[in-house]
Structure formats: C-alpha cells, structure tokens
Amino acid sequence: MTAIAAATVASTLAACGGGDDGSSSSAEGGGENEASDIGVTEDSIKLGAHYPLTGVAAPGYSEIPTGVQAYFDCLNKEGGVYGRDIEFIFKDDAYNPSQTSQVTNELVLEEEIFAMMSGLGTPTHSAVVDFLNDEGVPDLFVSSGSLLWGENPEEYPMSFGWQTDYLSEGKIIGEYIANEFPDAKVGLFLQDDDFGQDGEEGIRQYLDDQIVAAERYVPGNTNVGPQIAALQAAGADFVVGFNVPSYTALSQLTALQLGYDPQWFYSNVGSDPNLVGGLLNRFSEGKVSDAALLDGALTTGYLPTVDMTDNPWIQEFSRIWDECGGEGELSNYRVYGMSQAYTMTQALQAAGQNPTREGLVEAVEAVGAEWEGPVFAPFRYSEDSHLGTSGMTIERIVGNGSEEVQPVRTTDIGDAPIEEFDKEPATPPANGIPDEEAYEG
C-alpha cells in the first residue's frame, strides 16, 4: 500500500515536469497500472497525429494512419503495452498549417493525448512544434526528413525525427555516384526548399566537381519544362531528383517530350513506383499507363517495401493488415505507418509500466539507439541528437518493385563519414510485437 502511494507521489512529481525519474521504479514486476500522466489511464494510452486526409496531399499519405491503426489494433488484441490499449486518434489537416495548428490544439487540449506521433509534413509540423514543446507533449517520430526535429534537442527537447534526414540521404547518394559513375555529368533536380537544399548539400560533399547543373522547381508550378531543358542543355547524363512523387511523374513526362534520356536517380520520397505510376497515368491522360518509364531508375530505401514478399517484416505486416486492417491492399505507405507504430510500441515499453511524458523522452534518448525493427539501420537517438535512422540502401526500380544495388550504409549529418553497416537485419518477434525492457533511468 505504501509502495503504491510512494509511486503515485513520484509520478505526480514527474508529471509536474520538475520530478526526477522516480516513477520508473514502479515498473518492476507486479506493480499496478496507474493514471501516471495526461492521456494515460489504468487501461489505455492516448496518442494523436495529424495527416492530410483530404486535399492534394492526401493520395498516398492518407494511407499511413490506416497502417498505424491496424498495427495498434492487433497490438491491443494481444494485450497492448503493460495491459493498456493504445488509443490512436488522427485528425485531418489537409496539409494546411493553420489547420494543423487547430487539430493539434484539439488533440492536446481537448483529447488530452499522452504524446503526438508521426505528425506528417515539414510546413505543417513546423506550425505546431513550438506549441508541443512549450506544452511538454512528446512529439515522437515526425513523418518528415527535415533536420528541424532532431538536429538541436536543446531547442526542441520533446521532438524526435524518424526517417533518414535528407542531408544524410544526399551524402549516401553522392558517395554512390562518385564511386559507381565517376564519369557521369550529374544534374540536380531539386524542390526549392529545405528538402532540396539539404539533399544538395549532402550530394555536393561527395561529387561537387561532377555536377554540371542544379535546377530548382517551386512546388505548385506544374511546368518543369525549363528545368528539364536546362539539364539537357548542360549535358547532364545523370539526373538526381530531390522531389515529391508528383514531380517525379512530371519530370519523366517532360523528359519524354524533350527526348531526353539520362540515368535517373530519385530520392526516397519521390520514388514510390505505384503512386508515380498512377500519377503518370493521370497526368498523361492515359497515354502512359504505368511506372514503366521509371524502369531502371535508381532510388534509396530505409524500409522494406511491399514488393519484397520474402522479407519477414513484409510477411508479418501483411498478416497484420489482413487481420486488423481495413479495405484495400497493404501499400508502402501502410508499411511506413506500421513501422512507426512498431517503434512507438518500443518507446512505450521502454517508458515503463507507468509512463510519464518526461520519462518517455528520457527512455527514447537513452535506449532508442539500440532498438531493432523493420528499419534497416539503427536510430541515432541520444541526448545530443534526436535524428532518426541514418542508413540507406541504393535500389534499382524494376517494374513495380526494386532490386538492391548497394547494401545499407550509414552516416550522420555534418562531415561524419559514411560507413558500411554489417549487422544482420532484424527479424520480427512473435506476433510482430516488440519486447523492450523498461528503462530504469
């Protein structure tokens, strides 16, 4: 009885933000579940997220929360985390920052979520990152490769990235091209924002002297003729695109019109063959029916994709989708959502039986770098970095799938070297549910 009372006091202190890490003591076997912080009850934990479910950005991205939901549904059937069900609430922001701000207010102030997870988009999430950190809400695994969430934990102590940041991706691409295509004249096709800038900075670290042109497009302007023509005129025979999927389709169609046929390399964001194939079909009004144009293009990967049917993670996620998912097929976006939900489950397990917001963030910082999962390479979480995974493969697109041409290599931002990653890929645990120990502090 006194032990429980003491634990309650400790967790109340921690909940107030000023407490030490006393709450994790109650995580030792046999303790009872308590409502240890906002959004946590004896039998549930509330998580929230924002995605574009309507509007121009909805195709593809709106599938991510269905993947997250399916994973949590299956997890809850197996007993959840410490006997608590995960309640996942996601809201539509239509990729509009003012709406992101509104729905985040709703999630934090009205729904009283324990933590935000997987909030999608750089401009959208920028609008709420200050608010979440001011309110002390853990802001885990933002669905964007911007450096903003992870580069400077002192500024945003509650925010964590998840996917490979665009700078590291650029470095890995740059090194690959410098090694494998030393004579290529490289042209860059970049989205004119941090996405393109970070990617360019990374690439230029390795093949600055091979680059003959760097062309930028402004999202929203659908005519990329001038940029593609400029790349052609500069004599580029190898084009690297840091662009979103719709501009992959536009650049392909424009190059087709201009009779321009370089080796293409699209960064991970813009390379989903299914989505690009659909877009090509739509933009060309049926003249190009699938992603055949993309055949032979190179891209990067940090997660298994649905075409890898013999990958054990994909098999496990297929099972989860069949048992707990809704309509439709398992897609790469759903795999992405499930993988994030998997990491989130690891984080909640590590936060202990009676998690607090502070405790959750401390646990991710302390042990997050050791977690294994569907992501190819480990996360970089520590007290000094909240950046997500850093490793990527290089893949060649074949049909609607891809084949690996370079195994996983890892790096970090700044002038960190690129290293081979030689660990065996992790295999999924039973039922696809991780089993992390509680972090004791």
123 binds another protein (CB under 8 A): yes
Give me the count of residues in the chain: 441
Determine, following the binding rule CB under 8 A, whether residue 203 of this chain makes contact with another protein.
no
Which among 240, 233, 224 is positioned nearest to 184, based on CA atoms? Answer: 240
Kindly tell me which residue out of 36, 69, 400, 402 binds another protein, with binding defined by CB under 8 A. 69
Q: How far is the CB of 44 from another protein (least distance, A)?
A: 16
Cβ atoms of residues 45 and 348 within 8 Å: yes
- Applying CB under 8 A, the span of 37-45, 95-103, 235-243, 311-319 interacting with another protein comes to 95-103
Q: Which range binds another protein by CB under 8 A, 65-73, 201-209, 293-301, 338-346?
A: 65-73
Contact between 96 and another protein by CB under 8 A: the answer reads yes
Mask of contacts with another protein, 30-59, x by CB under 8 A?
Answer: -----------------------xx-----
- Choosing from 4, 78, 105, 208, the residue that interacts with another protein (CB under 8 A) is 105
Using CB under 8 A as the binding rule, whether residue 65 contacts another protein is answered as yes
Q: Which of 24, 36, 62, 232 binds another protein (CB under 8 A)?
A: 62
Rounded least distance, CB 27 to another protein, Å: 31
Tell me whether residue 27 or residue 57 sits nearer to another protein (CB atom): 57
Q: Which of residues 131, 181, 260, 283 is near another protein by CB under 8 A?
A: 131
> Is 395 near another protein (CB under 8 A)?
no
Beta-strand pair 391-398/298-301: antiparallel
Contact criterion met (CB below 8 Å) for 360 and 141: no
The count of residues interacting with another protein (CB under 8 A) is 40
Q: Does 346 sit near another protein (CB under 8 A)?
A: no
Residue 92 beta carbon to another protein: minimum distance, rounded to whole angstroms: 3
Residue 193 binding another protein, by CB under 8 A: yes
Question: Residue 190, interface with another protein (CB under 8 A)?
Answer: no
Among 101, 152, 263, 431, binds another protein (CB under 8 A): 101
Judged by CB under 8 A, does residue 25 bind another protein?
no
Answer yes or no whether residue 26 interacts with another protein by CB under 8 A: no
| CB 54 to another protein: min, Å | 6
124 binds another protein (CB under 8 A): yes
| Sheet strand arrangement including 238-242 | 211-217, 186-191, 238-242, 263-266, 298-301, 391-398, 401-410, 419-420
The torsion region of residue 18 among left (phi > 0), alpha (psi -120 to 50) and beta comes to alpha
Letters for 303-332 (x = contact with another protein by CB under 8 A, - = none) are -----------------------x------
109 binds another protein (CB under 8 A): yes
CA distances from 376 to 174, 176, 350 (A): 20, 18, 21
Binding window for another protein (CB under 8 A); candidates: 35-43, 91-99, 172-180, 286-294: 91-99
Shortest reach from residue 219's CB to another protein, in Å: 6
Which residue in the set 13, 89, 230, 398 belongs to the binding site for another protein (CB under 8 A)?
Answer: 89
Minimum CB–partner distance for residue 416 and another protein (Å)? 25
Between β-strands 238-242 and 211-217, what pairing exists: parallel, antiparallel or unpaired?
Answer: unpaired
The interface with another protein within residues 215-244 (CB under 8 A) comprises: 218-220
Any contact of residue 300 with another protein (CB under 8 A)?
Answer: no
- Among 46, 91, 380, 409, indicate the residue that binds another protein (CB under 8 A): 91
Given the rule CB under 8 A, which residues bind another protein? 53-54, 62, 65-66, 69, 89-92, 94-98, 101-102, 105-106, 109-110, 122-124, 126-131, 134, 146, 191-194, 218-220, 326
